[in-house]
Structure 1
Amino acid sequence: MTALNRVPSLMARAGTASALTIAAVGGTIAVPGLSSEAAAATPATKALKVAAAKKGSPYRYGATGPHRFDCSGLTLYSFKKAGKKLPRTAAQQYNKTRHISAKSRKAGDLVFFHSGRNVYHVGIYAGKGRIWHAPKTGDVVRLQKIWTRSVWYGRVR
């Protein structure tokens, strides 16, 4: 019996409170926005996992990791670890991605916040209207619901 086949019986005995422990023991960690093993193999979902693993890292303007990040520094670092190169700033990253509609967005796509034509913030889409991002000075890398409709989406090529 594989570890994957044992999960339902283990969960029945252990209760849902132990689901994350079971997932960790089985070698798989649940990350918001990831739905299948096949999806986990893409650079975008690898970058999403990297960003999620940086949860709690402090924001620092201009920082690109590995312990402190600004918004575009987190996306740059996450995609670099996934084997993709991105430019430094949110606006430059927007210009390097394939622009997609909100309907087409997938976990691992970039979410660009804008005012008019100016991009001022970026995060990695985690699914269910949420992003992993480094918000601002005094804050930390975290998962947060998208708070505005003034966003554009980009897929890293």
Structure 2
Amino acid sequence: MTLRHPRLPRACGVFVLALPWLWLAGCSSAPPRQAAEPLSAVAVPAALSEEQSQAVTVYALGLVGTPYRYGGNTPDSGFDCSGLIRHVYGLQAGLPAPRTVAQLQGWGHAVPIEALRTGDLVLFSKGGAPSHAGIYVGEGRFVHAPSTGGQVRLDRLKSGYWAQQQVAIRRP
């Protein structure tokens, strides 16, 4: 039995079936795995649905340019890094994120770097406890509130300062 829409040419049906695989292949930012391992080996439970993950990502990107403020947790007052995360996840996913970076270290589930996806948290450290956090938005980039005098911005995980940090991934 052939499954195709009666009004679409056969080539369109093949393209439509292949499209999700092409999209996934084109969006992958993780390096290819060295050893063949089953996909379930990197499966990580998540409270965040795919729709919520997309909503978190889009909303976080929309906050780029908001002023930094230590202890800030709203777009009107400004954000520090954990305030940004708490605001975004609370508003877009209904998940009450912890208020400090130290508490974020234990929130959700640890994720191996090869399983990183949009909506995941990235926590940075210089070898000890994490001191900074952001929201991964895809293509090797994350949104975060970096420092006093700055603004919420989009940076690359592999750029300058951030590439020198140890990164832990958490999935709410």
Report the 3-state secondary structure (helix = DSSP H, G, I; strand = E; otherwise coil) of the residue aligned with 1:59.
coil
Deviation at 1:128, TM superposition (A): 1.5
User: 2:102 aligned with 1:86, yes or no?
Assistant: no
Report the 3-state secondary structure (helix = DSSP H, G, I; strand = E; otherwise coil) of the residue aligned with 1:126.
strand
Of 44, 49, 52, which aligns to 2:58?
A: 49
Aligned partner letter, 2:62: A
Deviation at 1:79, TM superposition (A): 0.2
Aligned partner letter, 1:71: C
Kindly tell me the number of residue pairs found equivalent between the two proteins. Answer: 119
Q: Is the contact made by 1:44 and 1:79 (CA closer than 8 Å) also made in structure 2?
A: no
Q: Is the contact made by 1:40 and 1:46 (CA closer than 8 Å) also made in structure 2?
A: no
1:119-130 → structure 2 map (5 Å cutoff):
119-130=130-141
Of 139, 143, 148, which aligns to 1:132?
A: 143
Q: In structure 2, what is the equivalent of residue 102 of structure 1?
A: 113
* 1:70-128 deviation digits (Å, cap 9, x = unpaired): 00111110000121111101120121120001100001100000122311000000111
**Pairwise CA RMSD:** 1.9
CA–CA distance in 2 between the matches of 1:132 and 1:58?
13
Report the 3-state secondary structure (helix = DSSP H, G, I; strand = E; otherwise coil) of the residue aligned with 1:143.
strand
The percent identity for this pair of structures is 37
For structure 2, the residue ranges without an aligned partner over 5 or more in a row are 1-26, 28-47
CA–CA distance in 2 between the matches of 1:127 and 1:53?
14
User: 2:75 aligned with 1:75, yes or no?
Assistant: no
Larger Rg: 2
Moved more, 77-86 or 143-152: 143-152
Report the 3-state secondary structure (helix = DSSP H, G, I; strand = E; otherwise coil) of the residue aligned with 1:49.
helix
For structure 1, the residue ranges without an aligned partner over 5 or more in a row are 1-32, 34-38
The TM-score with structure 1 as length reference comes to 0.70
